[in-house]
Homo-oligomer: A and B are copies of this chain.
């Protein structure tokens, strides 16, 4: 299945940076930890960071960060996940750039209402954030579950854009050998786990935490 079925999810600029495979979309989403959720309130845009998780072609969004905005049953929104992979230094300042991957999803998110799907959504979100946690920590009880706002967004209308590789300078600047040019790669890394100071038992770091290598941005 290809992406970009509508005008707003078809890139207007630098189409060569557009990915067309659904697997690319999934990869960008799966590699991230924070999404930026955009919606309209009182005719003005609002953008808030939020936790999320993907299950097939459904994106589950944790509603807490925008709790007071997210009052309806559906929320027209735009969800963007961006990875910054490097700073691109060119010979000319106009060609300075970033290496990145970003996914932009448009649609009407629906509030998840049933307890079963809400539990499932929370599991997807938590396992996305930190795989293995669902079987390790205490699961939400009925009261906690009722207090949770979760939204579901179909990944129907989406685009993926990326840049990678060395700078793209004008030929004249390359020939002139004006200055150093290249890429400073960036990545997100995890430091040693910091055990909670009030932890009395279970003080050894569990495998699913210790072995986690993935740390998308």
* Chain A residues with a Cβ under 8 A of chain B: 8, 12-13, 33-34, 36-49, 51, 64-65, 67-68, 76-80, 82, 84, 86-87, 89-94, 96, 98, 100, 102, 104, 106, 122, 126, 129-130, 133-134, 136-140, 144, 148, 166-167, 173-174, 177-206, 209, 212, 215, 217
Contact = CB atoms under 8 A, between A and B. Distances in A.
Contact of A8 (B42, B104, B194, B209): B42
List of 3 A-B pairs having minimum Cβ-Cβ separation, nearest first: A38-B47, A12-B68, A177-B201
A49 to B, nearest CB: 4
Would you call the interface of chain A mostly helix, strand, loop, or mixed? mixed
Copy number in this complex?
Answer: 2
A156 to B, nearest CB: 14
A195 B174 contact: no
Contacts of A134: 93
A8 B98 contact: no
A29 to B, nearest CB: 14
Given A98-B129, A126-B96, A148-B94, A195 B209 contact: no
Contacts of A92: 137-138, 140, 144
A190 B184 contact: yes
Contacts of A183: 193-194, 196
A149 to B, nearest CB: 11
A149 B106 CA distance: 25
Nearest to A65: B13
27 contacts: A8-B44, A33-B98, A36-B38, A36-B80, A36-B82, A40-B43, A40-B44, A44-B78, A47-B79, A49-B100, A84-B217, A87-B130, A93-B126, A93-B138, A96-B133, A98-B129, A130-B184, A138-B179, A166-B197, A166-B198, A167-B196, A177-B200, A177-B202, A178-B202, A180-B202, A184-B212, A189-B189
